[in-house]
Structure 1
Amino acid sequence: MEITFLGTSSAVHSSSRSHPSIALKAFGEVMLFDCGEGTQRQLIYAKISPMKISKIFISHYHGDHILGIPGLLQSMSFRGRETKLTIYGPKGLNNLREAIASLGFPNFDFPLEWIEIDSGTVIENEEYVIKAQRVRHNTLTLAYSIEEIKKPRFQRQKAIDLGVPVGPDFGKLHNGIPVEIDGKIITPDQVLGPPRKGSKLTYSGDTIPCEEMIQFAKDSTLLIHESTYKSEDKDKAMEHAHSTATDAADIALQSNSKELILTHISTRYTEIDDMLNEAREIFENTKIAKDFMKQEI
């Protein structure tokens, strides 16, 4: 998985931080998590084609997380997009769809599906599982996780010892299909190793620190968590239903995440080294995102 931070500010732009959006390249797809104002311009600078985006996941309907969607859809249509785009979001997504239509945007000349979701599994296929979880903000908000599905290792020598010839039957067994060799059935469990856990990416959206987020982020390879405020402004964080850097670090620690990246940084701070340091006092493997930063997991 390759993550590109397209926008890392909170409610207000700065000269170096755009509104929230994250692009994920994985499994032959490009997915967006949130789509703040200016996202399509950020995609140009990041050299990510909007025509390759297959899915957009919206955490909530505050303007800094959604105002890039109308322009992005219109640009896709103008450029002759033909492939389907699916937009997921919490209850209220149909209101957004109707609002965009009411602004005078044309009918888009490509398949466009809007799917309202709640906590639970959103997508599950052979390659990955995407889940959503309600968290605690001042409006209905979802966190998202995407977890890679890894097949057990194929134990080649075991298969050979059981009489399986090198060739197509190896692939069948690795894909969970039994094969017959000289009248004897060889089952996948005879030649596959133990289950393997794939990489897990978790994105918080906007939230105060809460048990729901800790449990949802359990064992994340990478936790991307909002960090709107420094700990000295904890009162403001609670007033506006956001997290501080130390809140995010504590969630990373309690969830047994391997790495933490802070984002959604308030533009009130011109110096953020101390924000990073206070998070690292709790959870050492922490970074602060900046626009166009890339991260592989």
Structure 2
Amino acid sequence: MSVRELVVLGTGSQVPTRTRNHNGYLLRWDGEGLLFDPGEGTQRQMLFAGVAASSITRICLTHFHGDHCLGVPGVVQRLSLDGVRHPVTAHFPASGAEYFGRLRRASVFHETAELVEAPVSEPGVIARGAFGELVARRLSHPVESFGYQLVEPDNRRMLPERLAALGVSGPAVGRMQREGFVELDGRRVELAEVSEPRRGQRFAFVMDTRLCDGVFELADGADLLVIEATFRSADAALATEYGHLTAAQAGRVAAECGVRKLVLTHFSQRYADPEQFRVESAETFGGEIVVAEDLGRVAVPARRTTRSAAG
């Protein structure tokens, strides 16, 4: 059975608190495990969350500020310590390749795991696989930063009642899915007759940035949007100055982009009541809002079909 969920390892920003570790987010997506922005302490948070190093298939860094990357040395070394057998690909801004090299070899260890460096120099599709496409978009921050989007291709959902009515069963179903039709007793049955469109799911990860085109491109149609909400509206000027978003801006993005579930995170330590982030984002976004907590798990919403979307 496939699992699609976000495991939240840390939700703080520049300064961790007693209840919020530095950043860290593991997206479990069927056979993939994408670790986003592992900040300091991520390896230990993985232990608390029950996440094994072997579940990581990709490491995705948005930029090289410490709260988004200082966990890389521990995670990389853990891959070898635990004897992870599959290759792990690391995506990061190409301008920070020197920093990544330092993080990767921050101390002496016996490296046995295969870590493949895949620097991101331009926006666009940066990887393809059974999961679909991994897309990077530029963000607006004082240092070069990229956000990430996972896009599953659209496909079709077979309708058992239509298959039965037209007598399509067994190996003929698979043949129809591959070829688009099947010949049965002199009749041609088209795939469209026994199936309906099923939209591919989308996940978006937006960290440290001002509002910019890249934010909206990443969030467009996302089933699950993980987005920074470092500041509240009263400090909007500070947010712009330091290259961050407010909770209200995050809500606006979700509303304008048709997001289904909004996950707010990367909170400044200056605020004592996290629920106020929900209140401010709900002023513009009427969908489901999650105020992320360390070690929490957030399910990716169930797939949408033409039938359910119309309802």
- Where does residue 279 of structure 2 map in the other structure? 277
Q: Distance in 2 between matches of 1:176 and 1:213?
A: 38
Counterpart residue identity of residue 66, structure 1: C
CA distance, structure 2, for counterparts of residue 281 and residue 30 of structure 1:
33
Which residue pairs with 1:20 in the alignment? 23
Contact 2:61–2:68 under 8 Å retained in 1: yes
Question: Once structures 1 and 2 are overlaid, which stretch shifts more, 233-242 or 276-285?
Answer: 276-285
Partner of 2:88: 85
1:43 corresponds, among 46, 58, 62, to 46
Structure 2 residue aligned with 1:215: 217
Contact 2:72 2:104 in 1 (8 A): no
Residues 15 and 101 of structure 1: CA distance in aligned 2, closer, same or farther (over 3 Å): closer
CA change 1:126–1:71 in 2 (3 A) is closer
Task: Report whether the alignment pairs 1:151 with 2:155.
Answer: yes
CA-to-aligned-CA distance 1:245-266 (integer Å, 9 cap, x gap): 1111111111121222210000
- Kindly indicate whether the alpha-carbon contact (under 8 Å) linking 1:173 and 1:191 is maintained by their aligned counterparts in 2: no
Q: Deviations over 1:221-273 (max 9, x none)?
A: 12211011111111211111111111111111111212222100001112233
Q: Which moved more, 1:93-102 or 1:17-26?
A: 93-102
TM-score after normalising by structure 1: 0.90
AA of the residue aligned to 2:76: L
2:207–2:228 contact (8 Å) kept in structure 1: yes
1:83-127 deviation line (CA, Å, top 9, x unaligned): 211111121353234213553433520211010123111233344
Structural mapping, 1:1-297, within 5 Å: 1-100=4-103, 103-106=106-109, 108-117=111-120, 118-156=122-160, 164=168, 166-176=169-179, 179=182, 181=184, 188-189=191-192, 191-193=194-196, 195-284=197-286, 285-297=288-300
Kindly provide the amino acid, as one letter, of the partner of residue 4 in structure 1. V
Q: Which moved more, 1:145-154 or 1:231-240?
A: 145-154
Tell me how far 1:29 sits from its aligned partner.
2.4
Change in 2 beyond 3 A, CA 1:218/1:66: same
**Which stretches in structure 1 are left out of the alignment for 5+ residues?**
none
Equivalent residues of 1:74, 1:105 under 8 A apart:
no
- Distance change >3 Å, CA 274–CA 178, structure 1 → 2: closer
> What is the TM-score with the length of structure 2 in the denominator?
0.86
Contact 2:53 2:82 in 1 (8 A): no
1:144–1:202 CA contact under 8 A, matched in 2: yes
Superposed displacement of residue 21, structure 1:
1.0
Q: Tell me, what secondary structure is at the counterpart of 1:286? A: strand
Q: 1:267 to 1:50 in 2, by over 3 A?
A: same
Q: Deviations over 1:117-162 (max 9, x none)?
A: 2311123334432211111111111111113335312245655666
Contact kept in structure 1, 2:76 and 2:104, CA below 8 Å: no
CA–CA distance in structure 2, aligned partners of residues 16 and 157 of structure 1: 51
**Aligned equivalents of 1:6, 1:187: Cα separation in 2:** 47
Taking a change above 3 Å as real, the CA distance of residues 168 and 127 of structure 1, as seen in their structure-2 partners, is farther
What is the aligned-residue RMSD (CA, Å)? Answer: 2.3
C-alpha distance in 1 between matches for 2:127 and 2:19:
34
Structure-2 separation of matches of 1:219 and 1:177:
27
Sort the Cα spacing of 1:54 and 1:287 in 2 relative to 1 into closer, same or farther, 3 A. Answer: same
Question: Which range is displaced more, 166-175 or 11-20?
Answer: 166-175
Shift of 1:186: 5.5
What's the CA shift for 1:75? 1.9
SS of residue in 2 equivalent to 1:149: coil
How far 1:287 sits from its partner (Å)? 2.6
Corresponding residue SS for 1:277: helix
State the 1:19 CA deviation. Answer: 0.8
Distance in 1, Cα, partners of 2:50 & 2:140: 34
> Is the CA contact (8 Å cut-off) linking 2:13 and 2:22 kept in structure 1?
yes
The Cα of 1:18 is off from its aligned counterpart by: 0.6
